[in-house]
Amino acid sequence: MEIVDLRRKDWRSEERLRFVAERGSIISEEFEEKVREIIAEVKRRGDEALIEFTERFDGVKLTKETIEVPKEELKRAYESIGEEVRKAIEVAHERIRAFHKEQVERSFLKEEEGILLGQRVIPLERVGVYVPGGTAAYPSTVLMNVVPAVVAGVREIIMVTPKPNPYTLAAAYVSGVSRVFRIGGAQAVAALAFGTETVPKVDKVVGPGNVYVALAKRLLFGVVDIDMVAGPSEVLVIADETARPDWVASDLLSQAEHDELSASILVTPSEKLAREVKEEVNRLLSELPRKEIAEKSINRFGTIFVTEDLIQACEVANLIAPEHLEVITEDPLALLPYIKHAGAVFLGEYTTEPLGDYVLGPNHTLPTGGTARFFSPLGVYDFVKRSSILYVSRRGFEKVAGFAEILATAEGLEAHRLAVRIRRR
């Protein structure tokens, strides 16, 4: 990991800091052109294109009859996994469900002198959930993306995942997935957006994926709604001299093992902690089964920034706007007012990010690549739409019609004015 000193007035212009903060824009035009081609082929040829791309990119031969995973296979997967994993999935499911039930929005109507105004909150009818299926199994991703949709009242949930495994299928069974398809990549997102002979068209696509998936979601936004353009995972840890170096290092590596493009960042006013954490990262790396992936991530994006104090550390965090922000300091709650931009904030030395990934309850589908400045975590609110309700009686009409006429005239829209005036006569 590279140690960078930010204890100077022009720290915001530091090259390494800008590199880390702007890593969300590393997607190249080369990828975009390829994704556009895949989308066009799926739109034109449907299942035929899905089968071709699945064999080419995932090495799996499908037919129209085998694209979908039989419903009974989900139950078999649930019954086949060990009792400990099954229990863990069920506990996580209940905690995630309990948290997200607090997010449910209500419809309302308000009456005032002959005018009835309100809002209806209506669940989406059908959503698609993308679950990665490359180098690891992700039952937690299934739970985090499906449970809020179920709580919101979505009628049909379509899951797509390349090379489904028993753990993700078991999580799909527990959480209430309607149908599962053995497809991934940009082609799966396109299939959900347009629909094919086998895969139904959805109203919204949610869930993380690789660069091809992120680009496909971005390019298809408007054809279908999306949650966010999620890139590689990242964690930023703010720590002071009270933090244990091995604990901080393990938290940094928990993100590095996700992906070669993941970012692990420490921001601290303690030079001593910076050196010790770097040593611990190098030591612990050698013990990881996914060492090769984590090492590439650490070598490319792993960075330790040394600041003047913890307030500057918060300013650095706000500039980067990380997906996960851990605060491991003597008084972590004292820093919360200074933190503006983060997907999720983990306060205290025992609140390690992996707990949030699996069992605490808040959603782990979070904005990445600096988009925490304007995106929020996935939630129940992502699976509903709102309709305004308006009713006006004669009494209410007389109360506001004159003002509407004045504004219509000011805007030069005569038919608007006439629609009101004709009723006043």
Active site residues: 323-324
Q: How many degrees, rounded to 5, is the angle at CA 71 between CA 69 and CA 75?
A: 110
Please say whether the beta carbons of 129 and 207 come within 8 A.
yes
Distance CA 335, CA 404 (A): 49
Please say whether the beta carbons of 139 and 168 come within 8 A.
yes
Beta strands 115-123; 384-392: pairing state? antiparallel
Q: How far is CA 126 from the centre of its chain?
A: 18
Give the containing element (helix H, strand E) for 304.
strand 303-306
* Torsion of Cα atoms, 343 then 345 then 351 then 357, to 10°: -10
Strands across the sheet containing 126-130: 68-69, 179-181, 156-160, 126-130, 204-206, 225-226
- How many CB atoms sit inside 10 A of residue 217's CB? 27
β-pair partners for 237:
266, 326
Distance CA 97, CA 91 (A): 10
Token pair 């599962």 in the structure block, residue = 180
Token pair 């988009």 in the structure block, residue = 371
SS3 content of the chain, % helix, strand, coil (to 5): 50, 15, 30
Task: Name all contacts of 22-31 with Cβ < 8 Å and 24+ positions apart.
Answer: 22/370, 23/232, 23/234, 23/261, 23/263, 23/301, 23/369, 24/231, 24/368, 24/369, 24/370, 24/371, 25/369, 26/261, 27/211, 27/214, 27/215, 27/231, 31/211, 31/212, 31/215
Strands across the sheet containing 2-5: 2-5, 303-306, 263-268, 234-239, 324-328, 344-347
The tokens for 378 are 């996935």
The tokens for 57 are 């990119």
